[in-house]
A and B are shown apart, each in its own frame.
Chain A
Amino acid sequence: GQQLNQSPQSMFIQEGEDVSMNCTSSSIFNTWLWYKQDPGEGPVLLIALYKAGELTSNGRLTAQFGITRKDSFLNISASIPSDVGIYFCAGQDPQTGANNLFFGTGTRLTVIP
């Protein structure tokens, strides 16, 4: 199946620091999504990216769709304790159908107050 490599697997940072995580795929995607999952809950969409090179912000979050269409990154500025959770990238592969999202393995973020 589709391979999505997400890094880092986990991060421990001090409150106020910036965070950067990325995701790469083995093939081209036509959409990249970033989700956050809180403990005991389902993933919630943070940002959606639709075309190569697109840079989109949502509050303190910024994400970019890589030019090669095989990668994306997510930045969080000035982290706060409620940023704790698991962040997933997800991509829509045009070859396998519009309704199948492939998810990365997640980046577990811990923010130390």
Chain B
Amino acid sequence: DAGVIQSPRHEVTEMGQEVTLRCKPISGHDYLFWYRQTMMRGLELLIYFNNNVPIDDSGMPEDRFSAKMPNASFSTLKIQPSEPRDSAVYFCASSLSRLGQAIRGSGANVLTFGAGSRLTVL
């Protein structure tokens, strides 16, 4: 398996523009997570899906952020309009089963991260 695939790897945009980040989870994984990484706040969970359904979006910063998962192999994180403070690395991750169970499972059931999308908003 190619792992979790994210695109774009890098994006530079101007304030006010719409940004769309994309993620393809590992095939067969039921859970998909979006994280944001900044120097100040580290890694923060934004939202996660189970079987394409959003379960917890309490980490989404504000209404400018939205995430969708139209099918089991694709998810998007959208920021509209973007602001300079949104500059960060956004990670997508997936797991085979419920995280609490996955951690206790085999090595294949752990949370697997993509390489990230580095966003710079000028």
Q: How far in angstroms is the closest Cβ of chain B from A26?
A: 15
Chain A binding surface SS class: loop
- Kindly identify which residue among A48, A99, A104, A105 contacts B31, using a CB–CB cutoff of 8 Å: A99
Chain B interface size, under 10 / 10 to 19 / 20 to 34 / 35 or more:
20 to 34
A41 x B116 contact (CB < 8 A): yes
* A32 (CB) vs chain B CBs: closest residue: B103
Q: A42-B93, A45-B110, A92-B99 are in contact. Are A99 and B104 (CB under 8 A)?
A: no
A104 / chain B contacts, CB cutoff of 8 Å: 42
Known contacts A48-B103, A92-B99, A103-B43: does B48 contact A42 (CB below 8 Å)?
A: no
Q: Which of A48, A98, A99 has the most CB of B within 10 A?
A: A99
Tally the A-B contacts, defined by beta carbons under 8 Å.
Answer: 56
B45 contacts partner chain A, Cβ-Cβ < 8 Å: yes
> Residues of A contacting B33 with CB < 8 Å?
99
Task: For the complex formed, measure the closest distance between the CB of B76 and the CB atoms of chain A, giving whole angstroms.
Answer: 18
Q: In the complex the two chains form, what is the Cα distance from A40 to B101 in whole Å?
A: 29
- Is A92 within 8 A of B103, CB to CB? yes
Give the contacting residue for A106; candidates B42, B45, B115; CB below 8 A: B42
Interface residues of A in 10-58 (CB under 8 A from B): 31, 33, 40-45, 48, 50
**Bound form: Cα–Cα A42–B55 in Å:** 23
Whether A97 sits at the interface, judged by CB under 8 Å, is yes
* Ranked 5 nearest A-B pairs via Cβ: A42-B113, A98-B100, A103-B43, A99-B99, A105-B42
A sample of 20 cross-chain residue pairs with beta-carbon separation below 8 angstroms, ordered by A number, consists of: A31-B103, A40-B115, A40-B116, A41-B115, A41-B116, A42-B114, A43-B43, A43-B113, A45-B111, A48-B103, A88-B43, A90-B43, A92-B103, A97-B56, A98-B100, A99-B31, A99-B99, A100-B45, A101-B99, A105-B42
Please give the residue numbers on chain A whose beta carbons come within 8 Å of chain B beta carbons, in ascending order.
Answer: 31, 33, 40-45, 48, 50, 88, 90, 92, 97-101, 103-106
